[in-house]
């Protein structure tokens, strides 16, 4: 049993190490292998699909940052759909529609979840490209121009961007996530770019040809887990569907945006549980459809099967580890490994993305034990709650009892 456990963890670690070393080699020494053509004269019409639930004034900041992009105003529209927020989000969207051009505002009569809200926003779009985003995302000025230019290759179906944090040093939890985000986007996605098989384009910034969305509409709308509708992991599911449909998916690291990360452990835990559920569901779906994947580039099997499988392999080894020595995770060598990793990554951040630099990164060595909780507890909990996840996660909250602070903005003339 121990020998088998050690073999599993060796394979798990090897997959991850190969991924990041491979990514680093491609990024800094073989840029041509993962690069893709861009055409900045290519300026297709773009519809930004903005689903919203309980985002408050942050949704106004998001719309403002989009409208301040260096993209032609007449080629860019923003379609906002509020999913029955119980806070003042809707009023902030109405204010944005009055302050900025080409902003539509609609509202669902009942709460239907993020996945279906995005599809409803799609029904109002007419553009060549649709850009699915989160309602707290803030864009860099050239973000949309970078995304649009990436569709120069007619085989590319969807393009994502690099996501950073707006609240890097708010807490040790956000600092840890900053390191995670940087490793994921600037190293982890590079090997996937190489073969145009990015397994999960972030829902914060997901540009896709509108016709592809229309072709996949029925599958996306009917998404479920053994008959129970689910809206978690819509970005991972859509990325996977696009690749299986024969289109390429890539990440343009020059297209940058920023999101607000959970600052406290309970919110972070809830976010990670949603992500883990979606990854496990996708893994099971991959195993059911292996013949379709074998027709793609071999890296598709690596991305959609081996990478998510590492979580289950690590779970097995950690469980055996606790049976052997319950305090093995306190080994000073592990803390040293966490510390060195964080310092090295933070130096890369400081050089290439200085606004994302983490203060006092050494403290994150202690937080490094999170991966044990993440693997041992979250994976098990996710496996037993795969039928959950139809809500808006960390955005759920009770209705406010006091008057909305922006009530003077009035009501929508375009609401539904």
Region of 233 (left: φ > 0; alpha: ψ -120 to 50; beta: rest) is left
Domains of the chain: 34-263 (3.90.550.10)
Alpha carbon separation from 402 to 57, 346, 399, 405, 407 (Å, rounded): 16, 43, 9, 9, 11
What pLDDT, on the 0 to 100 scale, is given for residue 24?
Answer: 73
CB atoms within 10 A of CB 222: 8
Nearest to 244 by CA among 187, 196, 277: 196
Parallel, antiparallel or unpaired: strands 156-165 and 205-209: antiparallel
Per-residue pLDDT of the chain (416 residues; tens, 9 = 90+): 556 555 655 666 666 667 777 777 777 776 776 789 999 999 999 999 999 999 999 999 999 999 999 999 999 999 999 999 999 999 999 999 999 999 999 999 888 888 899 999 999 999 999 999 999 999 999 999 999 999 999 999 999 999 999 999 999 999 999 999 998 898 888 888 888 999 999 999 999 999 999 999 999 998 888 888 887 788 999 999 999 999 999 999 999 999 999 999 899 999 999 998 999 899 998 998 899 988 888 888 888 987 787 767 777 767 777 777 777 777 777 778 888 888 888 988 998 899 999 998 887 877 777 777 777 788 888 888 887 766 665 555 544 433 333 333 333 434 45
CA distances, 20 to each of 14, 176, 220, 395 (Å): 10, 18, 31, 32
Q: Give the pLDDT of residue 162.
A: 95
If we measure between CA atoms, which residue out of 291, 289, 307 comes closest to residue 299? Answer: 307
Could you report how far apart the first and last alpha carbons of the chain are, in Å?
60
The three-state secondary structure class of 222 is coil
- CA-to-CA distance for 340 and 361, rounded, in angstroms? 10
- Angstrom CA distances, 237 to 137, 159, 174, 201, stand at 20, 15, 26, 10
3-state per-residue secondary structure call for 37-73: CCCCCCCCCEEEEEEECCCCCHHHHHHHHHHCCCCCH
Which pLDDT does position 14 carry in this prediction?
Answer: 67
What is the pLDDT at residue 12? 62
Whether pTM > 0.85 for this model: the answer is yes
- Where helices occur in 138-171 by DSSP H, the ranges are 143-149
pLDDT at residue 135 in the model: 92
Residue 135 near residue 53 (C-beta atoms within 8 A): yes
Indicate the DSSP class of residue 388.
-
The set of residues, in sequence order, having a beta carbon less than 8 Å from that of 406 and lying 6+ positions away, is 57, 88, 91, 92, 95
Structure tokens at 278: 């979606």
pLDDT for 379: 84
37 is written with which tokens? 């053509």
């Amino acid at each position: 049993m121990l020998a088998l456990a050690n073999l599993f963890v060796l394979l798990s670690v090897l997959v991850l190490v190969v991924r990041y070393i491979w990514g680093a080699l491609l990024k800094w020494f073989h840029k041509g292998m993962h690069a893709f053509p861009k055409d900045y004269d290519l300026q297709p019409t773009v519809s930004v699909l903005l689903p919203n639930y309980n985002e408050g004034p942050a949704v106004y900041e998001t719309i403002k940052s989009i409208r301040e992009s260096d993209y032609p105003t007449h080629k860019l529209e923003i379609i906002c759909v509020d999913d029955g927020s119980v806070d003042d989000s809707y009023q902030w969207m109405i204010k944005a529609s009055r302050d900025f051009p080409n902003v539509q505002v609609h509202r669902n009569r009942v709460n239907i979840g993020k996945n279906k809200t995005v599809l409803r926003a799609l029904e109002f779009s007419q553009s060549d490209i649709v850009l699915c985003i989160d309602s707290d995302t803030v864009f860099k000025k050239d973000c949309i121009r970078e995304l649009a230019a990436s569709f120069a290759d007619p085989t590319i179906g969807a393009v994502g961007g690099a996501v950073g944090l707006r609240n890097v040093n708010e807490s040790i939890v956000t600092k840890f996530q900053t390191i995670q985000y940087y490793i994921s986007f600037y190293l982890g996605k590079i090997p996937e770019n190489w073969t145009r098989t990015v397994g999960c384009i972030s829902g914060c910034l997901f540009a896709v040809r509108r016709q592809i969305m229309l072709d996949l509409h029925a599958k996306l709308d009917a998404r479920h887990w053994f008959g129970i509708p689910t809206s978690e992991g819509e970005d991972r599911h859509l990325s996977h569907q696009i690749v299986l449909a024969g289109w390429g998916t890539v990440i343009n690291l020059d297209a940058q945006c920023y999101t607000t990360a959970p600052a406290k452990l309970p919110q972070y835990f809830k976010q990670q549980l949603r992500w883990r559920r979606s990854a496990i569901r996708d893994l099971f779906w991959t195993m059911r459809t292996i013949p379709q994947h074998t027709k793609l580039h071999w890296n598709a099997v690596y991305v959609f099967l081996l990478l998510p499988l590492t979580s289950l392999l690590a779970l097995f080894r950690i469980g055996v580890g606790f049976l052997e020595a319950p305090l093995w995770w306190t080994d000073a060598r592990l803390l040293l490994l966490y510390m060195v990793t964080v310092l090295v990554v933070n130096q890369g951040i400081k050089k290439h993305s200085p606004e994302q630099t983490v203060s006092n990164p050494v403290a994150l060595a202690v937080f490094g034990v999170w991966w044990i909780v993440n693997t041992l507890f979250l994976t098990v909990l996710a496996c037993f709650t795969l039928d959950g996840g139809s809500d808006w996660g960390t955005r759920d909250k009770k209705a406010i009892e006091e008057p909305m602070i922006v009530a003077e903005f009035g009501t929508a003339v375009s609401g539904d």
